[in-house]
A and B are shown apart, each in its own frame.
Chain A
């Protein structure tokens, strides 16, 4: 069964600290993995996409990694800000027809002052 598991479910950190969110998947055949940020009451917004050949990709203070062998990805947030408080969702696309996605349950991050 194609699944995407994220950990931790929730996380509280102090402003300015770093954190790392984890994503493990069993989706096969793999096409790409995307991290989304979802603010409360809003729709998800794409942060970064990782394809099979990519190991690391940065977008400002966000750095995503991908290990296609172990089917693991991480999202590292550096120097956290209050505005980073949101849910972060890992989404994996299968390498087949259509744009069908498997969504993780998300990690809810709260950054406190």
Chain B
């Protein structure tokens, strides 16, 4: 079955440590996205990529970094510069250029601070 796989499901970060969240899709989608979800708030866009080897900052990119070396993969690194990283992180993908196509989401990674 086609879909988006995020790993790990739970992740713990120590002070001063960088951690990387994995996102892989086999839907052959061009566009991929990373969102952060906090309780009671709407999803907020961290980074997005419309095509391989290109990505753009979203609304809350500070303290995060991404890469898009392959079409199917869009890893997110939470750096030590992100002072409040505890949240539920969701990766999504979509076909570019078609506004009526939904974004397909993975099942998220919950990041906590030790």
**Contact assessment for A43 and B107 in the assembled complex, using a CB-CB cutoff below 8 Å:** yes
Kindly list chain B residues whose C-beta atoms are within 8 Å of the C-beta of A31: 99
Partner of A46, one of B6, B50, B102: B102
Partner of B41, one of A32, A42, A95, A105: A105
Report the interface size for chain A: residues with CB under 8 A from the other chain: 25
**Contact assessment for B105 and A45 in the assembled complex, using a CB-CB cutoff below 8 Å:** yes
CB distance from B41 to the nearest CB of A (A): 6
Report the interface size for chain B: residues with CB under 8 A from the other chain: 26
Partner of B103, one of A95, A99, A104, A106: A99
**Contact assessment for B108 and A34 in the assembled complex, using a CB-CB cutoff below 8 Å:** no
Partner of B45, one of A43, A100, A106: A100
- A60 in the interface (beta carbon within 8 A): no
Tell me the chain A residues, 5-29 only, with Cβ under 8 Å from chain B: 9
Interface flags, A28-68, vs B, CB<8A=1, else 0: 00011010000001111110010100000000000000000
- B66 in the interface (beta carbon within 8 A): no
Interface flags, A74-94, vs B, CB<8A=1, else 0: 000000000000000100010
- Taking Cβ atoms with an 8 Å cutoff, the residues of B that contact A are 4, 6, 31, 35, 40-45, 48, 50, 90, 92, 94, 96, 99-103, 105-108, 110
- Taking Cβ atoms with an 8 Å cutoff, the residues of A that contact B are 4, 9, 31-32, 34, 41-46, 49, 51, 89, 93, 95, 98-106
